Amino acid sequence: MKKILLAAMGLTAIISSCKKNDLTNVEKPLTIGSTQDTLRGTISVNTTVTRTTILQGLVYVAPGVTLTVNPGVTIKGSTGPAIPDTVNLENNKGTLLIQQGAQLIANGTANSPIVWTSEQPVGSRHYGDWGGVVLYGKATMHKANGATTNTFEAFDYKPDVRNTYGGTNDADNSGSIKYNRFEFGGGVVYQVNKEVNGFTMCAVGSATVFNHNEIAWAGDDAIEFFGGDVNIDHVLAYEPHDDNFDEDEGYHGKMQFIIAYQTTNCDNSGSHFIESDNDASATNVLPHTNAFIANATFVGPTVPQNFGSNPTTGFYYDGGLLIRRNSRLTLVNSLVIAQQHPFAVVTTPTTNALVANAPGLNDSVVVAYNVFQTNSANAVVKSSIEGNPVPLTSTTDAFSLGRLGGAANNNAALGTFADFKLDGTLKPLAGSPALGGGANLAALGLPFFTGTTQRGAVTTTDVWTASGTWISIANN
C-alpha cells in the first residue's frame, strides 16, 4: 500500500510499506483451493467477507440482512461489458446495492483499510471500471410529484423494487462504513447516460456512520446524495470524472472535515467541488436540498479551463460551488481554493437572492467564515443556465466576492494557493489564515459538529490525512 500526503501545489507521495492483517477467521466458506471469494446475485443471509472477494455484476443485500467486511479485505468489482446487460445482471459491472432495511458493516482501520477497487491489474485500472456502492435508506426525500419514495435513476430502466428508496425515518440506519477506499468505480453500469457514482446514498438516515473514507477516480460523482439526513466526516473525494459532492432531492445532512481535490479529470457536463441541486422538474419542492458543510478544503485544478466546453477535449470545470434550482447550502469554516476553476461560486436566479444577509430572508444560503482564492476576474457569478455565466456588477444583484469578503460574512480572499500556508497534508502552518477565524459550531450548540475555530478540513489537532495507509491517489 501507499501512504499518500496531499501536497500544497500538487500531490506528493510518501511511500511506506504495510503488511495487512492475516485474516484467517473464515466465516464465509470458500471453494477448496481458492484464494478469493465471489459475491453474486442476492445475499439473503448474514455474511462476513474475510478475504479478497469479487463483486460479480449487480449484487443486492436483502432487507434484514447484514453484510460485514473485515479490516484489510480487498473487494474487486467486475468490469462488465461495453454495452449494459439488462437481462443477466451478473454480466454488468460489479455493484453492491444495500436495500432498504439491510446494512453494510465495513469498518477498516487507518493501517488496515478496506479497499474497493477494479479487478484490472495495477497499471491497467481506469475510472469507472466497476460500479461502486449504493445505499438505499428510508429517510425523507422529495420528488416533484410529492412522492416520498423513488427508484434510483441509474437502475430505473424497468421496475425492480430492490432499487427503491425514501420514506419518513430520518434516523434510519444503513450500517457503518469507516476507513475504506473506493477507487475506479462509478460510471455507466445498467443504462447509458444514467451513471452510478463512486459511492451513492439514497435517502440514507442519520444513524448510518460514514467517516474516514476516500472516493478516488470515480466515473461520475465521487459521492452523491439523493435526499436523506446522513452525516459524514473525514472524507476525501479525489479526482472524480464529474463532481466531488453532489446533493439532490432534499438532502439535508451535515458534513465536516471533507476534502475535494481536482487536477485534470473533468466531465463534459461541467465539474464542481459541490453541486447543490434540488429537483430538475420542480425547483421549489419541499424539503429543499439544504446541506450544512463545515471545515472543508476544496482544491481546484492548476490546468486552465474555460467556462463552457473545452474545444479540445469537450470536458471542462464549471466552477467551484454550484448552487442552483432553489437549493440551499450552508458553508462555513472552509477553504475554497479555486485555482484554475473559472469561478469560485456559481448561482442561478432561483438561488442568488438567497445568499446570507439578504434583507428579509430567513431561509437562505449561508456562506460565512471562509477563505476564497481564485484567478478569475469574475470569481462569483449568477447564471440563467449552466454554461452562460453573467458576471455580477452590483452588490444588490445577488453577491460578489467583495461582498463575501465583507465583515458581515467574516469571509476573506487570497491571491494564490501559497497564501494559505498549508503543508503536504493540508494542515495549516504558522501564519496560515486557516489557524483561526472560524465559528465554533459545537459551542453554538449544533449537534454532530466537532468544535474548532480553525478553518479547513485538516486542523493542527487532527491531521487525519497523515494517519495510517488508507489514502492513495494511484491513477491506474
The residue ranges of every structural domain in the chain are 36-213, 231-476
Whether residue 35 is predicted with pLDDT greater than 80 in this model: the reply is no
**Enclosing H/E stretch for 67:** strand 66-69
The amino acid at residue 296 is A
Whether residue 164 is predicted with pLDDT greater than 50 in this model: the reply is yes
d(CA 399, CA 413): 14
> In the chain, what percentage of residues exceed pLDDT 70?
80
- Please tell me which residue, 437 or 378, carries the higher pLDDT value: 437
Q: What is the band of 13 on the pLDDT scale with cuts at 50, 70, 90?
A: very low
- Please tell me which residue, 283 or 124, carries the higher pLDDT value: 124
- Contact indicator for 115, 468 with CB cutoff of 8 Å: no
SS3 118: strand
Which residues partner with 297 through β-bridges?
Answer: 259, 335
User: For 316-339, what is each residue's pLDDT tens digit?
Assistant: 777 889 888 888 899 999 999 988
Q: Write the DSSP assignment of 288-353 as a string of letters.
A: PPEEEEEEEEEE--SS---SS--TTTS--B--SEEE-TT-EEEEES-EEE-TTSS-SEEE-TTTGG
End-to-end C-alpha distance for the chain, whole angstroms: 14
Whether residue 66 is predicted with pLDDT greater than 70 in this model: the reply is yes
Residues 291-318 have a mean pLDDT of: 78
Q: What is the band of 344 on the pLDDT scale with cuts at 50, 70, 90?
A: confident
Q: Tell me what pLDDT residue 228 has.
A: 97
Q: Tell me what pLDDT residue 348 has.
A: 78
Q: List Cβ neighbours of 446 (8 Å cut-off, separation of 6 or more).
A: none
Q: Residues, the chain, total? A: 476
Q: Provide the mean pLDDT of the chain.
A: 85
Q: Which three cell numbers stand for residue 431?
A: 501564519
Question: How many Å is the Cα radius of gyration of the chain?
Answer: 21
CB-based burial, 211-244: b 16+ in 10 Å, e otherwise: bbbbbbbbbbbbbbbbbbbbbbbbbbbbbbbbbb
> In the chain, what percentage of residues exceed pLDDT 90?
63
d(CA 75, CA 51): 8
User: For 202-211, what is each residue's pLDDT tens digit?
Assistant: 999 999 999 9
Q: Write the DSSP assignment of 132-188 as a string of letters.
A: EEEEE--S----TT--S-EE-GGG-SS--GGGEE--S-TT---EEEEEEEEES--B-
**Cα angle, residue 65 at apex, residues 51 and 36 outer, rounded to 5°:** 15
Whether residue 70 is predicted with pLDDT greater than 80 in this model: the reply is yes
Q: Tell me what pLDDT residue 399 has.
A: 45
- Contact indicator for 66, 46 with CB cutoff of 8 Å: yes
User: For 445-458, what is each residue's pLDDT tens digit?
Assistant: 999 999 999 999 99
Q: List Cβ neighbours of 217 (8 Å cut-off, separation of 6 or more).
A: 125, 126, 127, 183, 184, 198, 238, 239, 240, 241, 265, 475
**Nearest one of 132, 197, 141 to 169, comparing CA atoms:** 141
User: For 256-270, what is each residue's pLDDT tens digit?
Assistant: 999 999 988 877 677
Q: What is the band of 5 on the pLDDT scale with cuts at 50, 70, 90?
A: very low
Residues 44-67 have a mean pLDDT of: 96
For residue 195, the number of C-alpha atoms closer than 13 Å in the C-beta half-sphere is 24
